[in-house]
């Protein structure tokens, strides 16, 4: 133990163990980031679908508000019966 070269046989296995721990930790972090990415993509898809539905409703309301020649109640019922995309 007095000579520095004798420590090399202790440091080599320690370095291997520590690098293995870090590799495992990095893989875990990569999996967490991947899960968060998928969760964010799913959430974005839900929000996009909700936004599309709201935009469709606003377009219908704009048509109703700007079309003065048709009775509003009849127009609402006619548009409700139309299938959405």
Q: Residue 79: is it exposed, middle or buried by C-beta count within 10 angstroms (0-12/13-18/19+)?
A: middle
Q: Is the pLDDT of residue 1 over 60?
A: no
- 27 confidence band (pLDDT: 50, 70, 90): very high
pLDDT in tens, 34-45: 999 999 999 999
Q: Is the pLDDT of residue 69 over 70?
A: no
Q: How many CB atoms lie within 10 A of CB 56?
A: 13
pLDDT at 8: 81
Helices 72-81 and 8-66 meet at what angle, rounded to 10?
140
pLDDT at 5: 75
């Amino acid at each position: 133990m007095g000579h520095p070269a004798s420590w090399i046989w202790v440091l080599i296995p320690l370095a291997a163990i520590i690098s293995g721990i870090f590799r495992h930790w990095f893989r875990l972090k990569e999996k967490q980031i991947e899960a968060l990415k998928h969760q964010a993509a799913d959430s974005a898809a839900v929000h996009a679908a909700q936004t599309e539905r709201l935009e469709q409703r606003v377009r219908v309301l704009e048509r109703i508000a700007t079309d003065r020649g048709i009775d509003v109640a009849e127009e609402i019922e006619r548009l409700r019966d139309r299938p959405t995309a």
